[in-house]
């Protein structure tokens, strides 16, 4: 770390960017009830153990894990990636220009939301194509179309059955054909993704949080 000046300054360097985004919040009580399902608890336990093992291998056993992997985190993260992919189709922005911020907690504040945004130093971040998708008539079709696209993957049944390499074990049912996004836009570098949390599996659709949307 190097000081920006030999003398104390009351300001810090910054860059002003223009942007737009969409914030969505899931109904906390509905998510909380969904987390109590035995299948969800088991799915969460497996991915939590895989993430913690990966963390220890990367940073050592003495370095505490910075993230508590919960069912709601897996759900919000999966939904975020689904909407990023769908927004790239509907809004006109490229998939690499849309980024996510996840707000998930059950500690001091009960949070279960996500922000999808784009920002740049020129006028490209203010075209309006992204925020316009938040209008009620557009938002419903955005979510429904995104969830429906997760029902099947071109890599099924391997994808939904979690047949993957050791380096991808921090994910559930997720691959580049269905859920993964450019790593510049993902908070966890395409880790902790599982479309099962959204739509379940062909043998257990009821465990998916958004499974009812498949019938619309």
182 inside domain: yes
Asked if residue 10 is part of any domain, the answer here is no
Which residue range forms the structural domain that includes residue 83?
18-59+67-215
Task: Determine, yes or no, domain membership for 6.
Answer: no
Question: Could you tell me if residue 2 is inside a domain?
Answer: no
Distance, CA of 181 to CA of 196 (rounded, Å): 17
Residue 110 falls within a domain, yes or no?
yes
* Radius of gyration of the chain, Cα coordinates, nearest whole angstrom: 19
The predicted structure's pLDDT at residue 83:
95
**199: Cβ–Cβ under 8 A, 6 or more apart, which residues?**
147, 150, 151, 205, 208, 210, 211, 214
> Model-level pTM?
0.89
| Number of domains the chain is built from | 1
Domain-located, residue 169: yes
Average pLDDT per block of 10 residues along the chain, 216 residues long: 84 84 94 96 94 90 89 97 92 87 88 90 66 90 94 91 67 92 91 95 93 85
What is the predicted pLDDT for the residue at 34?
97
Q: Is residue 142 part of a domain?
A: yes
CA distance 36 to 39: 9
8 in any annotated domain: no
């Amino acid at each position: 770390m190097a000081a920006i000046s030999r003398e104390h300054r009351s300001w810090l360097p910054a860059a002003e960017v223009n942007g737009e985004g969409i914030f969505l919040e899931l109904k906390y009580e509905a998510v909380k009830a969904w987390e109590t399902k035995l299948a969800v608890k088991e799915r969460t336990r497996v991915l939590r153990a895989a993430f913690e093992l990966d963390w220890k291998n990367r940073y050592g056993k003495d370095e505490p894990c910075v993230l508590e992997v919960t069912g709601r985190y897996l759900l919000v993260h999966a939904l975020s990636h689904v909407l990023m992919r769908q927004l790239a189709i509907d809004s006109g922005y490229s998939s690499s220009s849309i980024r996510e911020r996840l707000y998930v907690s059950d500690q001091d504040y009960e949070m279960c939301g996500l922000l999808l945004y784009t920002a740049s130093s020129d006028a490209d971040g203010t075209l309006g194509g992204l925020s316009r998708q938040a209008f009620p008539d557009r938002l419903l079709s955005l979510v429904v179309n995104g969830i429906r696209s997760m029902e099947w993957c071109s890599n099924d049944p391997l994808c939904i059955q979690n047949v993957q390499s050791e380096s991808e074990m921090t994910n559930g049912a997720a691959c580049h054909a269905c859920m993964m996004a450019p790593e510049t836009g993902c908070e966890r570098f395409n880790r902790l993704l599982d479309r099962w949390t959204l739509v379940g599996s062909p043998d257990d659709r009821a465990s998916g949080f958004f499974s009812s949307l498949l019938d619309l």
